[in-house]
Chains A and B, each alone.
Chain A
Amino acid sequence: MSIYGNHASELERIKEQLLADIQEIRGHMTAELGMDPIEHLLGRVKSEESMREKCRRKGLPETEESALQAIYDAIGIRVVCAFLDDVYTIRDRLASLPYCAVAEEKDYIRHAKPNGYRSYHLILRVKDCYFAEIQLRTISMDTWAALEHHLKYKKNVQGNIRLIEQELKRCADELAATDASMQTIRDMMQETDV
């Protein structure tokens, strides 16, 4: 018996619908900006195994109720943008989709985590019934998160962990500065276009 009960295929359909709507937003923005705002777009329904593992980790019973109502990322979507402002534009357009409501959001771009992690987490209540977690970030933030993830899950990282953490934080802050500079340059180019 699936932990998602008989909702598994509906979760797939919602994921596909969200991805299709993001593609549509992307199309409109590409026309407006004269460039594609999205570098890549990924979506998944959390596997049976990792959902059960997450329930155990959170001390929840391995039930349909836990998987669909207590945990918000049965549906997970990641939108990776080239530029900072596009993260916020896509966030606004997602939040105004007719069948979605914002259940919760955390702006770790404006309020970076102490380790340097930056990303925008948007949890949508979909069709009054399901949850979907949308992570929006820039390419720089995505690259950083990939390396940080590697550090976190690698069992035996060689060397001085504290130094590695400090250096990763420094890289995150340098990348954030670069994102700000790149956005400024794009703004300037678009003004000269007019």
Chain B
Amino acid sequence: MKLLLAEDTADLNRVVTVMLQHSGFEVDSTFDGQEALERIQENGYDGIILDIMMPKRDGISVLTELRKQGNITPVLLLTAKAEVDDRVAGLDAGADDYLPKPFAMKELLARVKAMTRRRTRYNKDRMQYADFSLDAETLALSAENTVRLSLKEFELLQMLVIHAEKELPAEQLLGTVWAAEPDAGEDTLWLYVRYLQRKLQSVASEAVITGSRETGRVMLHGDNAEA
């Protein structure tokens, strides 16, 4: 599981980073909102921890921007104790959870675990990306036409949508979509990537999935001109 942390207080940043790494997470630490946003746009994360009060760009503005771009990665906000309005604004802006400072490290860890666990079962009823939509109830993929996906195809495409326009490492996709099936290997992943490539064509979508065994990375593009 890969996390992004944005916290401008150097000591706190370091303590949280080390604690999360110690608990098995891979952590990218950043010290301001602008840097956080840039890192999120370059990489796919399984969860994001944002301080609200930060230089250059505050946490709520980063969150608002992410949600505006259709990024639905779970976000935990760190808020100062008295900032009730901030908490409300944060939840309104699309935060999944918040934690008032000062906090106990084990509470932060528990909340991060809960948040990322939820994400692997994240079931938004209907996701829209570029010219296609994905219906969680019927597993229908629709653009001009509709086809029905299998559960694994659906979960893989959902991951790609959540991290659209970013290169995702094959291991990360395998580890998330096929987490319960340790026997599944790269052959399975690449076959499913090809199923989805075909199915996007079947529904006459402009979106394309690129990726190859050689690069070991997969990426969803909103239209084929970018690919």
Q: Using CB atoms and an 8 Å cutoff, list the residues of chain A in contact with chain B.
A: 110-112, 169-170, 173-174, 176-177, 179-181, 183-185, 187-188
List residues of chain A with CB within 8 A of the CB of B138.
170
Which residue of the partner chain, among B148, B195, B197, B201, contacts A173 with CB atoms under 8 Å? B148
- Name the contact of A111 in the complex, choosing from B195, B199, B204 (C-beta under 8 A): B204
CB distance from B150 to the nearest CB of A (A): 8
Residues of chain B lying within 8 A (CB to CB) of residue A181: 195, 198
A97 to B147, CA, bound (A): 34
Most A CB contacts (10 A, CB to CB) among B147, B195, B197 go to: B147
Task: Count B-side interface residues using an 8 Å CB cutoff.
Answer: 18
Counted as pairs of residues, one from A and one from B, with CB atoms less than 8 Å apart, the total is 46
Closest residue on chain B to residue A180 by CB atoms = B198
Of B145, B195, B199, B201, the contact of A112 (CB 8 Å cutoff): B145
Q: Is the CB of A111 within 8 A of B147?
A: no
| Min C-beta distance of A126 to chain B, whole Å | 30
B149's closest neighbor in chain A, by CB? Answer: A177
Closest to B200 in A: A180
Chain B residues at the A interface, C-beta cutoff of 8 Å: 138, 140, 144-150, 191, 194-195, 197-199, 201-202, 204
Tell me whether chain B's interface is mostly helix, strand or loop, or mixed.
mixed
The answer to whether A176 and B147 touch across the interface, beta carbons within 8 angstroms, is yes
Chain B residues, CB < 8 A from A170: 138, 148
Q: Which residues of B contact A180 (CB under 8 A)?
A: 147, 195, 198-199, 201-202
Q: Is the CB of A177 within 8 A of B199?
A: yes
Instruction: Specify the main secondary structure of chain A where it touches its partner.
Output: helix
Chain B residue with the shortest CB-CB distance to A110: B204
Smallest CB–CB gap between A182 and chain B, Å? 10
A184 touches B202 (CB 8 A): no
7 contacts between A and B (CB under 8 A): A111-B144, A112-B146, A173-B146, A176-B147, A177-B199, A180-B201, A184-B195
Least distance between A30 CB and chain B CB atoms (Å): 23
